A and B are shown apart, each in its own frame.
Chain A
Amino acid sequence: MKHKKKVAVCLSKVTKTYVLHHEKPTFVENFLKRNKREKFTALSKISITFSQGEKIGIIGPNGAGKTTFLKLIAGITVPTSGNIITHGKIVSLIDLEAGFQPDLTGEENIFLNALLIGMSRKKVQEMFKEIIAFSEISSFIDSPLYTYSQGMKLRLGFSIAIHADPDILILDEAVTAGDKAFRQKAGERIKALFQTNKTILVSTHWDEFLRENCQRFIRFDSGKIIDDGSIAVLNKYSLESNN
């Protein structure tokens, strides 16, 4: 019963450098100090392949390049050099509330936000009732978003993202949303997602979550992948970081 797994994400020699600017450059500065720009290498020569259905936990200290890595895969930014090939629809749960318009109603925001993260109009119409039901904001749905509580906005954002049905899901620290009851519901939903054949990349400092849900772990440090493998990678990392 051996079948070849399809490639979901493939990075080859991906480097990302940022121009380090202490001040935003102006025209004048740009012409006078053209060569004086400091460079910061966020990721250097990363080559890695994820197969379809893999559940990958991304670990490492802050500033190691985890978020840059996820942003590159999501297509939010492009690498300075190297190639990234992805197969399938990608949805990132990086900032759940981003893109909400405070003056529009919940309904209007569902449409806008769902299209924003890459759902088709038809798909939103199909999923519309389910999104509202899951977010548990029934009677507020036709009120403007500024009347919502923080938790309601998070729930709505989570509900939209979860119904987008991506092939590749990127979770960045956003695993918890809303109150206890909703967190449980959301957690169950995420766990159910982990049972499917989706490719999932999670970056979080919540070790328990990773331990329960991921099979492969990648450890970043200073812009490089220093470890890649099974649960042993996580154990080693938590042991080292506790000392």
Chain B
Amino acid sequence: MAHPSTYQPASGIGRWFDSRLPVPRVMHDQFMVFPTPRNLNYWWTFGGILSFMLAVQMATGVVLAMHFVPTPEGAFDSVEKIMRDVNWGWLLRYSHAVGASMFFLAVYIHTFRGLYYGSYKAPREVLWILGVLILLLMIATAFMGYSLVWGQMSFWAVTVITNLFSSLDALIPGLGTVLVEWIWGGFSVGGPTLNRLYALHYLFPFVIAGVVILHIWALHVPGNNNPTGVDVKTAKDTIPFHPYYTIKDGFALVVFLIVFAALLFYAPNFLGHPDNYVPANPLQTPPHIVPEWYFLPFYAILRAIPNKLFGVIGLIGSISILFFVPWLDTSRIRSTSYRPIYKWFFWLFVVTCIALGYLGSQAPDGWYLFFGRLCTAYYFGFFLLIMPIVGLIERPKRLPGSITQSVLGSEAPQRAVSSESAPEGVA
């Protein structure tokens, strides 16, 4: 949040540099003394964890690229060569593959945190939209990265997902076919496809890093939301980012890395599909095509809708609907903790997303298809009906008078919140 700079260059060189390119000043003001709400809980540590995971993926990815061969003949073998021959190759590749899973685990927790505490509400709409954009870029990057292994699942995932664009043939005949052949660089998924997916997989993380900088910038204009959703009112409500949150984020990161390391060293293939250790075969589709776990809920939505074009619209809509959440939620209260009715719908939504993940891994028939459709209906109903309606009819619980009061209780004077003069802690 905007606050006067307190940076004092310690040396002559520091002063010389500060008057020419004040990067140390920005670092000091934004990451050392930045006033941060004093009540942030551990759900707020995932931003730092995500920055770290992006760095892990970029570092391991750059070195893997030094050994990878982006051709249909060479790709699968070069991945196996990395696993067997390249020094530390097994560690680098498993870190990158398991790292993708951990990255998505963190980003989903981070997104649900934002949803629960209303971090998308004014004045943080742009911050939220940039976050959804990062999520979309991550999905595209992960999809392209998975294709590079050129195993059976890679190949057929690319085939199925690129074919989604052919559904546009239902709108304008021929448009979808032209688009898909443009994406493929041929009449089917092949060498040109692999090569361009590799080029884009290398590019996108840098685009993500750029949007992350904007995301943090957009965070630092209004400052952090907090578990109460009540705005910062006095300096007493905040503490400097360093050392308080560097320590807290650091501790959470270490705990997160223990989970990462446990998967990486003891079950590196636990989240993968064994079929991807079979080289790609364009003449044989595997009996069950399933995406990586982090795409399963979206895949379940795609398959729940019997029409090809509408299935694709549902798939794309399930993510892009997040862009509109700041305007779909009509409640003036940010934090779900103070919303007695919405709270139930929120947790049911979390359960629905997990259920969709399970249903996405099963064959879409019988009861699985029935529940897939039920969950898909709730998924969209949550955003399109529950968010606007519950916000209007719900009577929220009384908010604390300030962040400090929520932490220290009686020390701060009580201030009642009435519906007429509501502005305490409302968006």
Physical interaction between A and B? no
Using CB atoms and an 8 Å cutoff, list the residues of chain B in contact with chain A: none
Using CB atoms and an 8 Å cutoff, list the residues of chain A in contact with chain B: none
